[in-house]
Amino acid sequence: MIHVCFCFHDRTGNYAKFAGTAMLSIFENTKSSVTVHILHDDTLTADNLDKFSYIAGRYGQTVRFHNVEKLCPDKIKEYISYVPSIKNSRVSVGAFYRLMLSKVLPSNINKIIYFDADVIVNLDIKELWQIELGDKPLGAVPESVASSEMFKSSRGYAIEKYLIKSGLVKFEDYFNSGVMALNLDYLRQNDELLTSGVKFRGENKQCSAFDQDILNYLFANDYLKLPGQFDQFIRSERRKEDMKSKIRQVIYHYTKNTLQLNSDDIFNQLWLSYFMLTPWFNTDAIGKLYASFQQARNNFKSYISNASAFMSNRARVFFVEPQKLSAVKEAFSIRDDEEVIIAENQESLKNLAKSMLESRGKKIFYIMTEKVLGKKFPFKQLARINFVEGRDFIKGWEILSDAKGTPFDSFPFIQAM
């Protein structure tokens, strides 16, 4: 019997379909008997639970549900007390559930394969299951292998990771925790070690990840490095000229909104081909998709209408990254006498804030970048000092077309289905 698992907190009810699609891809490509363990909490709806059970039954496989909220309430509270920011994070408290696998699963299960929900297992999972971990705590793919195009050197993306920058983990050893073979016997014997990792994450807020940085802090120097076929980032695959038109027998990882509705892309096609086999693809999903597009259209019309009313007799100011300056100048026909603030450092943000405060009600600011210096633009800070979107500033990057370097993001529509 092969044991695999998914762990999640589904606050909107829309997350389950991703895990369900990943689960179905396992069943489609694996001949062996598989038991899927789903670690969840009270956010898993009865309808979604039934859909998971339906998929397993259709393939003659098994699914088991483990409510971590009921089984490990004290451990959840303990972890949250060390890292309270997890409650409001994008990943949610569900990121900690995989750290509780050794407590939740029966003691006769010695090993399990963990998956994030945003994967497609386009191979026979027996290939990964048969790899022996020996005395290693886990097996995983280094991120330099999973995302080779993003990790060509120790400069740029990788160096921003705190564990690497601080020297705690070597660049080539930092692994992705989205696909792991876990040695449950080892973890059962070292439960306090996991707790120490959670404490470390709470004390080191510079860490950008939650569970991944915890696991790397604990095990990056002593884990089994798995071949790249078991975890390949879609973002990286699309950048490889020799791979972007090929579907391979690998585990594809759709990280950070890389999944889109554009069916011209073979990797989107692959995910959709599996999703359409799940019970989540039904008339209700199509209706939600249509409603989402309609709402987006109405919002945009209202946005433009309101902005036009407030722009009357106001000067324009553009806050733009240097690499996008030419495209923005062309798209918005910026005149030489119009103010442009280049978004290149912390001083740029101070200059923007100063200009906004000094010209309140006299200028309208086009914020042309969603992120500044690797962090989300601080729109909440603007709201605190009573600057209003559509009146005082516009998220200008949303107006740019694909041709100007800002592709249309359809992932929210997939989430809404």
Worst-scoring range by mean pLDDT, 110-114, 208-212, 248-252? Answer: 208-212
| pLDDT of residue 317 exceeding 80 | yes
312 and 63 Cβ atoms separated by less than 8 Å: no
DSSP state of 166: T
User: Among 269, 302, 284, 262, which residue's Cα sits nearest to residue 408?
Assistant: 262
User: What pLDDT was estimated at residue 139?
Assistant: 97
365 and 394 Cβ atoms separated by less than 8 Å: yes
Per-residue tokens: 354? 């100063």
User: What pLDDT was estimated at residue 202?
Assistant: 81
| pLDDT of residue 315 exceeding 80 | yes
Q: How confident is the model at residue 48 (pLDDT cuts 50, 70, 90)?
A: very high
Alpha carbon dihedral 387, 393, 395, 399, in 10-degree steps, equals 150
- Under DSSP, is residue 47 helix (H, G, I), strand (E, B) or coil? helix
Q: Is 9 exposed, middle or buried (0-12, 13-18, 19+ CB in 10 A)?
A: buried
Choose between 44 and 163: higher pLDDT: 44
Residues with Cβ within 8 Å of 221's Cβ and at least 6 positions away in sequence, in order, are 169, 173
Residues with Cβ within 8 Å of 209's Cβ and at least 6 positions away in sequence, in order, are 161, 177
User: What pLDDT was estimated at residue 155?
Assistant: 43
Half-sphere exposure of 175 (CA within 13 A, CB side): 28
Continuous H helices in 278-334: 283-311, 325-332
Contacts of range 350-354, beta carbons closer than 8 Å, 24 or more positions apart:
352/319
DSSP state of 161: S
The residue with tokens 């990280």 is: 255
- Under DSSP, is residue 339 helix (H, G, I), strand (E, B) or coil? strand
**pLDDT tens digits for range 217-244:** 999 999 999 999 999 999 888 887 665 5
**pLDDT tens digits for range 132-191:** 999 999 999 998 888 865 555 444 444 568 788 888 888 889 999 999 999 999 999 988
pTM of the model: 0.76
DSSP E strands, 88-184: 111-115, 119-121, 138-142, 175-183
7 and 210 Cβ atoms separated by less than 8 Å: no
Domain annotation for the chain: domains and CATH numbers: 2-281 (3.90.550.10), 299-404 (no CATH)
The letter for the amino acid at 401 is: S
CA dist 337 and 348 (Å) reads: 19
As a whole number, the mean pLDDT across the chain is 85
CA dist 118 and 335 (Å) reads: 44
User: What pLDDT was estimated at residue 190?
Assistant: 87
144 and 158 Cβ atoms separated by less than 8 Å: yes
Residues with Cβ within 8 Å of 198's Cβ and at least 6 positions away in sequence, in order, are 78, 79, 82, 83, 96, 99, 214
Per-residue tokens: 413? 């529509």
**pLDDT tens digits for range 351-367:** 888 999 998 888 888 89
**pLDDT tens digits for range 264-310:** 889 999 999 999 999 998 777 677 666 766 776 666 656 555 555 55
